[in-house]
Structure 1
Amino acid sequence: MKKVKRFDIPMNQVIDTGPSEIVEKFLDVSEIENEKSHSLVRIDINMIEYPLFTKSTSKKKNQIIRYFFNRSKEAYIQVNPTSGDYIPGELEERVFIALLKIMRDKRYHNTFYTTISEILTSMGIAQESFKGFYGRISKALIRLSQTSYTFKNSLYSNKIKGIIEEQINTNIMNIHMISLKQAQESEKELFTDRRIKEVIKVSISEHFYDNIIRKGYLVYDSQLLLSMDNPITRALYMLINKLRFNRMYIKVLSINLIKRIPLSENIQKIGRTIKVIEKSCQELKKMNLIADYTVIKNSKWIESEFEFYFNESHNELKQSYFYDDKNHFDNLLITHTDSGVDLPNDGNKHFEAVKAETVDRIPTNEKLEEILKILPSKARELKTLPKVIKDGIRQYGFEHIKLVSEYIKVQKVSNIRSYMIQALSKGWAEDYIQQKKKSTTPKASNENLKLENLELEVPKSLENELEIEKFLGRITLEEKEKIEKEAYKDYIKMCGVEGKIQKMAFTAAKDKIVKDYLEKNLNKYTAEEAKKDKIPLETSIVDEIEISNKINTTHTSINNYIQEIEIIEPKIDTIQVAKKEIKDNLEINTADMAKNIEIKKIYKNMSMFQLDILDILEGENIKEVNKIIRLLGITKFFEGELGNLHVILEYNEDEESLIKIKPLK
């Protein structure tokens, strides 16, 4: 691991600007049960990743803080308080979490009404203590609405699936304090309780709201967050939950945590800062929010690391939060209409946009009925099947579940529910779905394509793929499971070690691994099949015109590199030349790519990234390759030599990852 040198750690910079002072800090992010379900809140990714609420207990009036995310200062966040005020801190963060819960209760409308009493109740403040908090909550609301944030090349937007590459100036929310005299006609009903003297109209700013109603958020229990008296513990919990995704182990540089929370970066006092983080780790362990942790000092405190350990119950809880919240939100989308809503700017236009984007994944009773019509009639007798179907629609989409249901009906299985769960999780219906999609794809015109007398050679990879697909389509479920087990054994033998990483990689890319295994062993299985059925082996014969169409439109994959082969109206006297040129070009390009590779790609998870590396480095020293794979699981970065290759690997979760391999000169 690269050592962190003293001069690599940026120090705070204070610039005197007269009535205001700006503190600049570098945050090298690129380097670096029913009651419970009602308290779930969606928190925007930007609020988890970035220090929008300071943890400092020594705030100053008119202090502007700017956080940089690269050395060129091209990406940063600037927090600007209103004149004569402070930037938002721990109280404002608690108030905002409470407002997110209220917004959820108000059906996720962008604009909603609340009272200070309702905010205090959501914060978990005892009613007898309300009086002492009214003034503080009012000030916190004003501070939240008046503080502005400048995002330059740093604001994440799920709508564009990435960082907005321009300067965005925004606040977190807008508020309007309304008395009975100021209320419009449509708002007067909010004062039916005579004890209410003032209501608060809240509008969450569009950039944050858009992430909350799409997929730019993580789900947390607001009661749990607000029960944490220490804001550092709360920030640490949200951050490591985001960093780990669903992994049981992560290792993070201490300096990375210090910068993201953020805490004091003073190098002389860094040991003391690490002790502060360790205290929060102890609190998280007592609350059973982490299984365990360790602190690795290395040679200096500045190079220290934190290791966090989790168990399956943590993943189950995280998943239950996600699904409970998703069920609630999907029900809102299903029942949402524009009629009967008098409040302006209430988020309806956002709901309509999200509903249009996600309509295929919203499980309605109509969709459930359509699926049940496809399945065998006895499916209606299974009381637990509707839940499986609805969860499947949410995860895979309605059209995918329809095709899987057709496949199940063709298979004539006895245990429909169990088979559907297995077919979805293990991808048993993938071959059927691909064939179905191919059959509905318009074929290219072939009126001018005459191949009666041509000896055009079908690429071997395409021929093998067709043969494997046909074989998988006709074997039984038991035979499929047997082949999967044998493919797994072969995969582990190739890796040279069996561990968590290998198991995850196999699960993530099982279809590809099984097909690669069958490509090497198909003759053995077809021979067994023929012997068992006492029928002659089926010869793979494909219609010549259909093959020519496939060649014209198919991308042939060679060692994970894609090259398009296009043949248009070949003539008899030039076909042999064309065949030779295609063959030569494929061989030359494949050889070149094997020596010089650069892939920039967004991966669903670390396992997919590691699997691509295993494929690309096939043939190299397997022990060394596995060392690299294991190291990547911890550091997410590797640079070094492997045989006669120079290898650079960098994994970035939800962002572009890099695989770069060059021959040594």
Structure 2
Amino acid sequence: MSKKIVKSSVWWEETIDTPETEIVEENIYVDEKFIKNKSLIRMDLNLIQFPIFSKNTKRKVNQIVTYFFNKNRDTYITVTPQAGDYIPGETEEKIFIALMQIMKEKGMPKKFVISALELKNKINFTTTKYNSVVEKALSRLASTTYVFKNTLYSSEHKGILGEKIETSIFNIKTITLSKKENKKYRDLVEDKRIKVIYELEFSDHFYRNIIKKGYLVYDGDILLEIESSTARTIYMLIEKIRFQKLYLKIDTLFLIKRIPLKYNKKNISQTVKILENALSELVEKNLILDFKFIKESTWEKSEVEINFPESANDEKQNRFYEDRNDFRKLITTNGVSETEHVMLEVPTEENIDRILGLLPSKARNLKTMERTIGEAIEKYGYEKVKNAAIYTKEQKADKIRSYFLKTLENNWADDIEEPIARSSKIDFKTIQDENTHKDVSQWDRSLYMAFEKLPENIQNGIETYAYRDYIKECGMETKIQQMAFKYSREKYICEFLEKHPEILKDKEDEEIVEPKKEIPTLDIKSVREKITRAIEFGDMLYSYSEEEKRRLLGNILKEVMELDVTKGLTEENLKNVIEKYIKL
């Protein structure tokens, strides 16, 4: 077996080899299922982040490409084609996107049957030789081997797998309909012009990721309409990176490497021109608003600014929720359990800010912390990330980001995760009894009577501090603690007043003065907290869907904004608006 290594000064090496390949074949038939939004597809995170499909238009037969991601060369991906063939490129990428659309239309089975005509119609091939193009592309995708070392993301293990993983994207079986043994397949094909069909089975690693938390949702039609493979890759990558931000500033070299595009210092300006053309296409298709390269010295040190249209976040959220609603219909029809079918959470600026607030204060000074939190929410879910943040702060870690990530990877916060686990049968009375019965004789109810005589704004202030004291004593803030405080509110307020008797004393000594007739306006942070908490309480009782939560938030904010502009936003009218939409 001959081997040639071609080294590059950038971050990968190419080798030429002639390996043996093997195709695993298996028969199965899957009924088609109707899905409302057929254009939405799930893309495995590994296919978004890594060069699974080559951008090199001069690929060679039997050329193996290895991409190294660090100086130690122990983090890499090796792409090995079948003997006498090329590694997958742009055509295979389009075929894969079309496959994901067809896979969804058939109900997201691991194994399903397709024809070349179905793929032609999805991709809008104009060539009359589409049968040959499709057959070669499918064979190339099925027989190409990918070796991942410290790179493969696994939703099952909730992180990057450290061991060496060798896998293909799927296996394929070619079925000739004219053969006697394939009669059962002939009955499935209405179009008698079709002579050959293909039976696909996705590999475990890729299939698990698109069923569980290892994917992002894109519009397959939009991806196929993007003409340039480079533009398509940039679009998928920046949609992942930006979370909910409408502005990105990225190192030019980062984009070049992640696509990846070949370059050297002598011709880097030509590579930048490829990026510029790709970004221009995204502007033309209204996928980004505009972009600008910032070059103060060399291209290697340059950056690119990308702005997104205001509608980008709504479209991203709609894709996520529509896809989730579609997949909920498949849970029972395809035997995917509710536990197994966990949805990827979309990180919002509000959630990221909440996590930052739970971490040590120094975390806000770390430039990469927001991105780290966003990626963690995507991988592990908000609740698990919240637990990890609480745990990191409790341990008083010096290296905050590193300790936070290790907590997630090693499940160190599992011991505080149990109270957060959602239960459909929470005994509110038990919670109330546990927190009130044994201590009822230990607090003076006359304090609460005095508390009730205070002005509303002072009552709210005292209750807020009492709640903070209670949460500090618990060591964590979850829905369980919120419910416990709600049902033992009087007790905790009295305990707080016992600790701080000067509060009531000062109020007794003060001369009662009629307040000025001015309309107080609540600060935005306070309004956000109150609305969010109210929706969470409602969720405990009614188990809202995400769509219902969004609708509630939208209706409440609409009235709140109108009040803020016209009459001023007070505690009382905020409470009235919330009670209008959330009946507790």
* Fold match (TM-score > 0.5): yes
State the Cα distance separating 1:283 from its structure 2 match.
1.4
Cα distance in 2 between the residues matched to 1:124 and 1:296: 38
State the Cα distance separating 1:315 from its structure 2 match.
0.3
State the Cα distance separating 1:132 from its structure 2 match.
2.4
1:256 to 2:254 alignment: yes
- In structure 2, do the counterparts of structure 1 residues 11 and 145 end up closer, same or farther at CA, with 3 Å as the change threshold? closer
**Alignment partner of 1:171 out of 150, 168, 172:** 168
State the Cα distance separating 1:396 from its structure 2 match.
10
SS at match of 1:73: coil
1:356 alignment counterpart: 339
Q: 1:548-563 maps to which residues of 2 (within 5 A)? A: none
CA deviation vs aligned residue, 1:340-377 (integer Å, no higher than 9, x gap): xxxxxxxxxxx23xx2345899xxxxxxxxxxxxxxxx
2:141 alignment counterpart: 144
State the Cα distance separating 1:265 from its structure 2 match.
2.6
- In structure 2, do the counterparts of structure 1 residues 308 and 65 end up closer, same or farther at CA, with 3 Å as the change threshold? same
2:330 alignment counterpart: 332
**Alignment partner of 2:272 out of 260, 271, 274:** 274
Q: 1:29-108 maps to which residues of 2 (within 5 A)? A: 37-108=37-108
2:118 alignment counterpart: 118
**What amino acid sits opposite 1:122 in the alignment?**
K
State the Cα distance separating 1:334 from its structure 2 match.
3.6
SS at match of 2:56: coil
1:222 to 2:220 alignment: yes
- In structure 2, do the counterparts of structure 1 residues 92 and 232 end up closer, same or farther at CA, with 3 Å as the change threshold? same
Contact 2:106 2:112 in 1 (8 A): yes
Cα distance in 2 between the residues matched to 1:65 and 1:119: 28
- In structure 2, do the counterparts of structure 1 residues 109 and 58 end up closer, same or farther at CA, with 3 Å as the change threshold? same
Contact 2:77 2:146 in 1 (8 A): yes
Cα distance in 2 between the residues matched to 1:118 and 1:204: 18
1:320 alignment counterpart: 318
1:286 alignment counterpart: 284
State the Cα distance separating 1:442 from its structure 2 match.
11
Cα distance in 1 between the residues matched to 2:124 and 2:215: 23
**What amino acid sits opposite 1:56 in the alignment?**
N
Cα distance in 2 between the residues matched to 1:243 and 1:106: 30
**What amino acid sits opposite 1:214 in the alignment?**
K
- In structure 2, do the counterparts of structure 1 residues 307 and 106 end up closer, same or farther at CA, with 3 Å as the change threshold? same
1:159 alignment counterpart: 156
1:376 alignment counterpart: none
Cα distance in 2 between the residues matched to 1:333 and 1:474: 51
Contact 2:65 2:78 in 1 (8 A): yes
2:554 alignment counterpart: none
- In structure 2, do the counterparts of structure 1 residues 359 and 116 end up closer, same or farther at CA, with 3 Å as the change threshold? closer
Q: 1:293-308 maps to which residues of 2 (within 5 A)? A: 293-308=291-306
**What amino acid sits opposite 2:117 in the alignment?**
S
Which runs of 5 or more residues in structure 2 are unaligned? 1-7, 20-33, 345-380, 384-419, 466-481, 483-492, 509-584
Which runs of 5 or more residues in structure 1 are unaligned? 1-7, 21-33, 338-350, 362-394, 398-429, 445-450, 452-457, 488-510, 512-517, 532-665
- In structure 2, do the counterparts of structure 1 residues 190 and 60 end up closer, same or farther at CA, with 3 Å as the change threshold? same
SS at match of 1:195: coil
Cα distance in 2 between the residues matched to 1:144 and 1:396: 35
Q: 1:181-580 maps to which residues of 2 (within 5 A)? A: 181=179, 183-184=181-182, 186-337=184-335, 351-352=336-337, 355-358=338-341, 439-440=430-431
CA deviation vs aligned residue, 1:207-245 (integer Å, no higher than 9, x gap): 111100112111111111111111111011001101111
CA deviation vs aligned residue, 1:301-323 (integer Å, no higher than 9, x gap): 11111111124310000000111
**What amino acid sits opposite 1:103 in the alignment?**
M
Deviates more, 1:257-266 or 1:89-98: 257-266
- In structure 2, do the counterparts of structure 1 residues 267 and 100 end up closer, same or farther at CA, with 3 Å as the change threshold? same
State the Cα distance separating 1:520 from its structure 2 match.
12
Contact 1:175 1:200 in 2 (8 A): yes
1:574 alignment counterpart: none
Cα distance in 2 between the residues matched to 1:70 and 1:291: 33
Deviates more, 1:101-110 or 1:522-531: 522-531
Contact 2:13 2:68 in 1 (8 A): no
Cα distance in 2 between the residues matched to 1:279 and 1:299: 22
Cα distance in 2 between the residues matched to 1:18 and 1:200: 28
Cα distance in 1 between the residues matched to 2:220 and 2:342: 28
CA deviation vs aligned residue, 1:163-193 (integer Å, no higher than 9, x gap): 1111111111111111221655653422354
**What amino acid sits opposite 1:110 in the alignment?**
K
Contact 2:35 2:105 in 1 (8 A): no
Contact 1:53 1:88 in 2 (8 A): yes
Contact 1:48 1:238 in 2 (8 A): yes
Cα distance in 2 between the residues matched to 1:143 and 1:289: 30
CA deviation vs aligned residue, 1:436-474 (integer Å, no higher than 9, x gap): 779459989xxxxxx9xxxxxx9xxxx9xxx9xx99x99
Cα distance in 1 between the residues matched to 2:274 and 2:343: 47
Contact 2:63 2:87 in 1 (8 A): yes
State the Cα distance separating 1:13 from its structure 2 match.
4.1
State the Cα distance separating 1:10 from its structure 2 match.
2.8
Contact 1:12 1:265 in 2 (8 A): no
Cα distance in 2 between the residues matched to 1:358 and 1:442: 36
So what's the TM-score if we normalise by structure 2? 0.56
1:135 to 2:135 alignment: no
State the Cα distance separating 1:526 from its structure 2 match.
7.2
**What amino acid sits opposite 2:71 in the alignment?**
R
- In structure 2, do the counterparts of structure 1 residues 482 and 102 end up closer, same or farther at CA, with 3 Å as the change threshold? farther
Cα distance in 1 between the residues matched to 2:238 and 2:254: 11
Aligned length in residues? 373
Cα distance in 1 between the residues matched to 2:254 and 2:53: 17
- In structure 2, do the counterparts of structure 1 residues 283 and 192 end up closer, same or farther at CA, with 3 Å as the change threshold? closer
CA deviation vs aligned residue, 1:50-71 (integer Å, no higher than 9, x gap): 0000011111111100011111
**What amino acid sits opposite 1:229 in the alignment?**
E
Contact 1:259 1:265 in 2 (8 A): no
Cα distance in 2 between the residues matched to 1:13 and 1:48: 21
Cα distance in 1 between the residues matched to 2:49 and 2:287: 19
**What amino acid sits opposite 1:79 in the alignment?**
V
Deviates more, 1:171-180 or 1:190-199: 190-199
State the Cα distance separating 1:268 from its structure 2 match.
1.2
Cα distance in 1 between the residues matched to 2:158 and 2:453: 41
1:408 alignment counterpart: none
**What amino acid sits opposite 1:168 in the alignment?**
I
